[in-house]
Amino acid sequence: MSTAYQLVWFRQDLRIRDHAALWHATQAGPTIALVILSPEQGQLHDDAPIKIDFYLRQLQSLKDQLASLNIPLLVHSISLWKDIPEYFATLIQQLPIQHVYANVELGVNELKRDQAVQKLLNQQDKELVLFHDRTLFPVGSIRNQSNLPYQVFGAFKKTCYQRLQPALPQCYPIPAPQQALTDLKLISSTDSKSLQLEYQKHIQHPHDHEWQVGEAYALQQLDQFIEEQLSDYKIARDFPARAGTSQLSAYLNIGIISIRQCLQALFRAQQGHFDIQSDAQQSWLDELLWREFYQHILFDFPRVSRHLPFKQSTQNIPWRDDPVALQQWQQGQTGIPIVDAGMRQMLATGWMHNRVRMICAMFLSKNLLIDWRKGEQWFMQHLIDGDLAANNGGWQWCASTGTDSAPYFRIFNPVSQSQKFDPEGEYILKWLPELAQLDKKTIHEPYAKKHSLALDYPHPIVDLKLSRARAIEVFKAHLS
Ligand SMILES: Cc1cc2nc3c(=O)[nH]c(=O)nc-3n(C[C@H](O)[C@H](O)[C@H](O)COP(=O)(O)OP(=O)(O)OC[C@H]3O[C@@H](n4cnc5c(N)ncnc54)[C@H](O)[C@@H]3O)c2cc1C
């Protein structure tokens, strides 16, 4: 009888360490791996070119790592997810596959895709065996006393703390190398170099010099952050000119590292016990739990992935249609330096500091009163760490339409934020070199004292005080 293989279907989890599906597949028997690339689906989801480029480069790294375990990787391109079940139907005719293993993905389309594959496999007495690997706790498992999902971060977090108390989630080991699968003939496999060419039209500006791939690199970054930067994190995290945060979001997002690895590293000095020793440690833990919270929200309230506000009372807000202002915001030409610096940082590097993401998002949704969904889409189209759950959660928080949001009348003043969190104007200067001649007081608001200042930089496109008052009026009048 010929060997039956286990198939691991990698998606947003391109690593071999601490990988639930890979571990379980390899324990069940000889394993082969699969990645399906879906360029058109990626476009529908607004995946940024820099994110696709990052994914493809990591895919090459994953292939090498799997080769060291004698696990062959099959890479297949299927434009749209709706055609994936048909591909599996053919694949299981051509290869003796026993079961398919994968880690759960949470978006509505992802869940629908997996249900269709499950149905197809079940008809052939096979299964799509799914594992909760992207979150610390299975989605649907963090519930309040009425067995309902939490809608407020504070209460969600408290329950997570209780769940972590007895023991932190453990990491899976790297599977032992299997015997080479000499009698296996893969039906077709595209190498990731040629896929990169196929994707070339989507990737106009590869940034590989800035975002190195590889699990070893990501783990080294994690260790370095915990050992050298964590102690200062609580304060430093808010200052965009400082490298005060881990910059691991892109790595977490496509699964080059896992959330369990982050948690284990955070409590390494406590020998893996959930024993919070400092404000800094708690502060980073809480950010990891914000990530967790938004993923659970995405699962429990699927309307957020259908472009609907979480708070239904905000659905009648009459957002302004102002394509000119939208474009000025997108290109970092609003005349508000901290906003423009953030928007230009994202265009140049694919990443923006969290404090500045909040300032830019509030400026668009409140001062410009432009629909937050337009900002959400622009971020997704440009972020290397673009993630539906976190991006939607962040945008809805800033626009006061989301879970546990900023109340609509609490609107950041971008100039005060800039003075507080970039007091020397270093961050602004890095991204707006045209303001080099200004001192650290003037740089936050170049024309405040001298309207006629000769600068190659726009005047503010909106009056901050008046636009703040307008947003409050509009919200007050249209909340149902
Ligand atoms: C409008 C807006 C849009 C955002 N879009 C995204 C996005 O598309 N993808 C994304 O990963 N994050 C998003 N965030 C959250 C946050 O800005 C980034 O996760 C963070 O800047 C990443 O930097 P870091 O890895 O250095 O974070 P650190 O401060 O080191 O935090 C560690 C990890 O915790 C998670 N995290 C931190 N803050 C948040 C948060 N507020 N919400 C959810 N998770 C968080 C991230 O995975 C991050 O890597 C958004 C925030 C806002 C306000």
Segment 252-286, tens digit of pLDDT: 999 999 999 999 999 999 999 999 999 999 999 99
Nearest to 50 by CA among 242, 233, 221, 249: 249
294 annotated as a binding-site residue: yes
Q: Is the pLDDT of residue 200 over 80?
A: no
pLDDT tens per residue across span 320-340: 999 999 999 999 999 999 999
What per-residue confidence (pLDDT) applies to 443? 98
Domain ranges within the chain, ordered by starting residue: 5-134, 135-170+211-300, 312-479
CA-nearest residue for atom 46, ligand 1, is: 249
Active-site residues, by number, are: 287, 290, 319, 354, 372, 395
108-115: average pLDDT: 95
| Among the four given CATH numbers 3.90.226.10, 3.40.50.720, 2.40.100.20, 1.25.40.80, the one describing domain 135-170+211-300 | 1.25.40.80
Ligand 1 atom index nearest CA of 249:
49
What per-residue confidence (pLDDT) applies to 202? 56
Q: How is the beta sheet containing 31-37 ordered, strand by strand?
A: 73-77, 31-37, 5-10, 97-103, 128-131
Q: Is the pLDDT of residue 63 over 90?
A: yes
- As a dihedral over the C-alpha atoms of residue 441, residue 446, residue 450, residue 455, rounded to 10 degrees, the angle is 130
What per-residue confidence (pLDDT) applies to 39? 86
CA-nearest residue for atom 37, ligand 1, is: 287
248 annotated as a binding-site residue: yes
What per-residue confidence (pLDDT) applies to 121? 97
Ligand 1 atom index nearest CA of 248:
25
Q: How many CB atoms lie within 10 A of CB 136?
A: 21
User: In whole angstroms, how far apart are CA 55 and each of 153, 211, 381, 390?
Assistant: 30, 11, 15, 18
What is d(CA 283, CA 267) in angstroms, rounded to the nearest whole number? Answer: 13
CA-nearest residue for atom 48, ligand 1, is: 249
What per-residue confidence (pLDDT) applies to 30? 96
pLDDT tens per residue across span 138-192: 999 999 999 999 999 999 999 999 999 999 999 999 999 999 998 777 666 665 5
Q: Which amino acid does the sequence have at 436? A: A
Ligand 1 atom index nearest CA of 361:
1
SS3 content of the chain, % helix, strand, coil (to 5): 50, 5, 40
288 annotated as a binding-site residue: yes
Q: Is the pLDDT of residue 471 over 90?
A: yes
What per-residue confidence (pLDDT) applies to 337? 98
Third-level CATH fold of 312-479:
DNA Cyclobutane Dipyrimidine Photolyase, subunit A; domain 3 (1.10.579)
Q: Which residues line ligand 1 (CB under 6 A)?
A: 237, 245-249, 252-253, 287-288, 290-291, 294, 354, 357-358, 361, 379, 383, 385-387, 390-391, 393-395, 398
The residue to mutate among 329, 354, 378, having the most atoms of ligand 1 within 8 angstroms of its beta carbon, is 354
pLDDT tens per residue across span 385-410: 999 999 999 999 999 999 987 899 99
What per-residue confidence (pLDDT) applies to 175? 98
Structure tokens at 208: 């590989």
The pLDDT confidence band at residue 480, using thresholds 50, 70 and 90, is confident
pTM greater than 0.85: yes
| Among the four given CATH numbers 3.10.180.10, 1.20.120.140, 3.40.630.30, 3.40.50.620, the one describing domain 5-134 | 3.40.50.620
